[in-house]
Structure 1
Amino acid sequence: MTLKQRIVVTIAAGLLAAATPITAPARAEGIALRMTIWTGNKAHLQLLDDIAAAYRKDHPEIASITYETLPFDGYTTALTTQIAGGNAPDLAWILENSAPDFVSSGILLPLQDTLRGTAGYGYDDLLPSATALWRRDDALYAYPFSTSPFGIFANLDLVKQAGAKAPADRIAAGEWSWANAMADAAAVHAATGKAGLVVRDFDYKLWDNLATIWNGWGAAPWSADGKTCGFDQPAMAEAMRFLHKAVFTDQAMPGPGAPADFFAGDAAMTITQISRAALLKDGAFAWDLVPLPKGPAGDYAVIGQAGIGVFKAGPNPEAAASFLAFLTNPENSARLAQYFPPPRKSQLVVDLLAKANPMLKPGQIEAVVVRGIEIGAVKPSHTGNAQIAQVVRAGLDALWQPDADVDAALGAVCGRIRPLLAR
């Protein structure tokens, strides 16, 4: 199902999007810009609002800039509901898994001319690898404002309490593997009753976040050309058997319906991105940030990416594109880097990122962020992603049972999505 088709389906379903607007004080008259995002973090919102306020000082024609937070789970559905209902925002964050749909849909404004024409922007500083997902031919349809590798945050207090090795010690000894990481996670659960390892935002729904694990086996949900199902391939089956054992036999990961928040001290480890460091509370517990463990296929990294696009059907596409150029210029890109690793080659250096991320040590930035961007693969995406994702999610429900037949469940998933992949 294409994005345009999905918009029609969304209207028919009559879905409503929950939203929390954050708006700078408005002037009585002028252009009101609205941008949908999925973060509700106060630090993120404050930084975005500060940038908006700086832009408005020199642009009296802009009455207000509103950041509208939509829930992460269901974000794309909520966004397409707005578009389909004739209420498209001016700008929006777009998830990497729906990038092919948005880029090919024709509803996004090409940005390359605006960005190239903005004095001091440095368009050629944008890494081709970072913009690839958001390009079609020579046009750039969204700015990849966050190119963020996944790493593991570890609660060192819980690890020590369980008598397990700290991840840094595992790394120093050449032992940082998925087998050892899960063994340490199981030890924490057994000793403390707290969760071992949590894949943040997965919750047995957002299955593509498991790419942070299965990529270590060299597995993928489909082939590089998107036409062949990969769930029933040996590498994926081995990875999923490993996950199933970790959940239901070793209890290294919390099972379905047992959420645990690492940042509240409820888990020993979590897989997530550096933007989540803002959730860490000073002095709550000792912590570390390390790369993903080595898998049977060797060292690897996984990148989550998000773009900011401007909608042609939005109320003010030209004004929105101008604000986007300011929001993502070199100065503001450096400011955003404290949460969202930039796509600018000149800014992917440890010293600059360390200055922008005072909570992180230079070694953590080098190992997780810089190295991760160098070797990482972006999370899976496909045209018609919304329908494919729903079918896969429903199919994998059979896997998340204690007595599941892993191979049969994965084979059934492929049977369901092959017709969709072949479109």
Structure 2
Amino acid sequence: MNTHLRNRRTTLAALTVAGLLALTACGGGDGGSGSEGPVSLSMTIWTGNEEHLKLLNGIAADYRKSHPEVKEIKFDTLPVETYTTTLTTRIAGGKAPDLAWILENSAPDFVSSGALVPVKDDPDVLPAAKKLWQRDGKLYAYPFSTSPYGVFVNTDLIKKAGQPAPADLIEQGRWNWDEVAKIGSAVNARTGKAGMVIRDFDYKAWDNLASVWNGWGAEAWSEDGRTCGFDKPEMVGAMTYLHRAVFEDKAMPAPGTTADFFSGEAAMTVTQISRASLLTDSFAWDFVPLPEGPKGPYDVIGQAGLGVFGNGRHVEEATDFLTFMTNAENSAKLGRFFPQARTSQLDAATLAASNPQVKPEALEEVVINGIKEGKVKPSHTNQSEIAEAVRSALDPLWTPDADVEKVLGDVCSAIRPQLEK
């Protein structure tokens, strides 16, 4: 990509989130509350899955039974690939939803923007789960989903390739990324199917690679967000592993190649438990923790918050619905797809009631331990600007003869000015 085009895309990305949220905080809707007459609420979400929508619409229907003034609650699905950009563009155009599902990578921008109103801080929710959504002692979005990453395994495909099942490797203390590369390579060579797929990465959404690099102790940037971590030895080690797995071992699909685990096209996929709704009985499967890296076992969390816009049409009603939607009873229902970080619900028996298809030991090892111990994927203010710069600078890495260390140094050069602001 030429420098002019890359800079133009980076500038547009920055304007989309940081700039448009600033506009939202300064003006727009009437910030209505206590509305007279029928009320229609809207909430943007990223999922169009029928089971997810059935659950959300069921909660909305229960709320409306005791709130006849609310005639409609609409869940508006936006494409996950452009979710935040589409949302903030709508906001700037005066078409903000009343509530929004906010992804963790844009949390700092939304929370610091002034666009959201404070919401109820429930003491049952783990303090660590609320950290990303707090400012000045107030909670600006409820941690709607705190979902650890694990690995779904097609045990039929692995057996066909003559490879050991991850569950057996776990018992032997050998479930690690080196074994993943061996299994993935063998599956590809013997069946023609893909080995390991980092779901939703597709050589674009680089932050999903945190589910791998955290095993090396790598980080995109320091905890205070000011120091680049891409050129550190830990990240070089993790990215060298990925590059080798793709281009030498053929253990992962190469750029331009797609392989959907849930359609039987891959042996393993790193993703979250919410994707279990995509499983059918077309093959035998398992759900296991992330493989160990050189630094040992680790957990990574993807998180989403649910916020109410201060310039929305029905702030009072939207805030009340959010409180209802995330109360203890409804949180237990949501936990089927979107793990809840509630102390009272973090036990295998409670989770098993809403996730009967997943073994209790997997719920304990992946979900419960992950929520308690996991590290949230990278996020930063001006995330869109930084994310686009990282993606563009990483592009040269995804070629067979890439100089991994040089590319990662270039990533730091590209984002250092933004990190140091």
Taking structure 2 as the reference length, what is the TM-score of the superposition? Answer: 0.92
SS at match of 1:312: coil
The aligned residue for residue 74 of structure 1 is 82
The aligned residue for residue 276 of structure 2 is 277
Tell me by how many angstroms 1:6 deviates. Answer: 3.1
Residue 385 of structure 2: which of 367, 387, 392 is its match? 387
* Contact 1:2–1:384 under 8 Å retained in 2: no
Q: How does 1:92-107 map to 2 (within 5 A)?
A: 92-107=100-115
The aligned residue for residue 202 of structure 1 is 201
The aligned residue for residue 23 of structure 1 is none
For 1:203 and 1:7, the matched residues in 2 are separated by: 23
SS at match of 1:125: coil
For 1:217 and 1:198, the matched residues in 2 are separated by: 18
Tell me by how many angstroms 1:374 deviates. Answer: 2.1
For 2:375 and 2:172, the matched residues in 1 are separated by: 26
For 1:2 and 1:135, the matched residues in 2 are separated by: 27
For 2:397 and 2:84, the matched residues in 1 are separated by: 25
* Contact 1:2–1:383 under 8 Å retained in 2: no
The aligned residue for residue 364 of structure 2 is 366
SS at match of 1:130: helix
Tell me by how many angstroms 1:371 deviates. Answer: 1.2
How many corresponding residue pairs?
A: 396
For 1:395 and 1:2, the matched residues in 2 are separated by: 17
For 1:311 and 1:405, the matched residues in 2 are separated by: 45
Tell me by how many angstroms 1:9 deviates. Answer: 6.1
The aligned residue for residue 161 of structure 1 is 160
Q: How does 1:129-208 map to 2 (within 5 A)?
A: 129-208=128-207
* Contact 1:33–1:90 under 8 Å retained in 2: yes
Identity %: 60
For 1:303 and 1:67, the matched residues in 2 are separated by: 24
Q: State yes or no: 1:6 paired with 2:5.
A: no
Amino acid at match of 1:370: I
For 1:9 and 1:256, the matched residues in 2 are separated by: 32
Residue 37 of structure 1: which of 45, 63, 79 is its match? 45
The aligned residue for residue 307 of structure 1 is 305
For 1:109 and 1:165, the matched residues in 2 are separated by: 51
The aligned residue for residue 412 of structure 2 is 414
Amino acid at match of 1:164: Q
Root mean square deviation, CA, Å = 1.5
Amino acid at match of 1:33: L
For 2:12 and 2:322, the matched residues in 1 are separated by: 26
The aligned residue for residue 249 of structure 2 is 250
The aligned residue for residue 124 of structure 2 is 125
Amino acid at match of 2:382: G
Say which structure, 1 or 2, has more relative contact order (CA 8 Å, 6+ apart): 2
Residue 87 of structure 1: which of 80, 92, 95 is its match? 95
For 2:48 and 2:102, the matched residues in 1 are separated by: 16
Tell me by how many angstroms 1:155 deviates. Answer: 0.1
Post-superposition, which runs of at least 4 consecutive aligned residues in structure 1 deviate over 2 A? 1-11
Tell me by how many angstroms 1:361 deviates. Answer: 1.0
Taking structure 1 as the reference length, what is the TM-score of the superposition? Answer: 0.92
Judging changes above 3 Å, is the alpha-carbon distance between structure 1 residues 376 and 336 closer, same or farther for their aligned structure 2 residues? same
**1:18-54 deviation per Cα after TM superposition (whole angstroms, max 9, x unaligned):** xxxxxxxxxxx61000000000100000000000011
SS at match of 1:341: coil
For 1:347 and 1:157, the matched residues in 2 are separated by: 33
For 1:289 and 1:53, the matched residues in 2 are separated by: 32
**1:324-366 deviation per Cα after TM superposition (whole angstroms, max 9, x unaligned):** 0110010000000010111211011110000110111101101
The aligned residue for residue 216 of structure 1 is 215
The aligned residue for residue 263 of structure 1 is 262
For 2:394 and 2:140, the matched residues in 1 are separated by: 33
* Contact 1:147–1:343 under 8 Å retained in 2: yes
* Contact 1:10–1:77 under 8 Å retained in 2: no
For 1:393 and 1:303, the matched residues in 2 are separated by: 21
Judging changes above 3 Å, is the alpha-carbon distance between structure 1 residues 8 and 132 closer, same or farther for their aligned structure 2 residues? closer
Amino acid at match of 1:303: I
**1:116-147 deviation per Cα after TM superposition (whole angstroms, max 9, x unaligned):** xxxxxxx2111101111000121100000110
Gaps of 5+ in 1: 12-28, 116-122
**1:142-177 deviation per Cα after TM superposition (whole angstroms, max 9, x unaligned):** 000110100000000000000000000000111101
* Contact 1:3–1:102 under 8 Å retained in 2: no
**1:191-226 deviation per Cα after TM superposition (whole angstroms, max 9, x unaligned):** 100000000000000000000000000000111111
**1:223-250 deviation per Cα after TM superposition (whole angstroms, max 9, x unaligned):** 1111111100000001100000000011
The aligned residue for residue 59 of structure 2 is 51
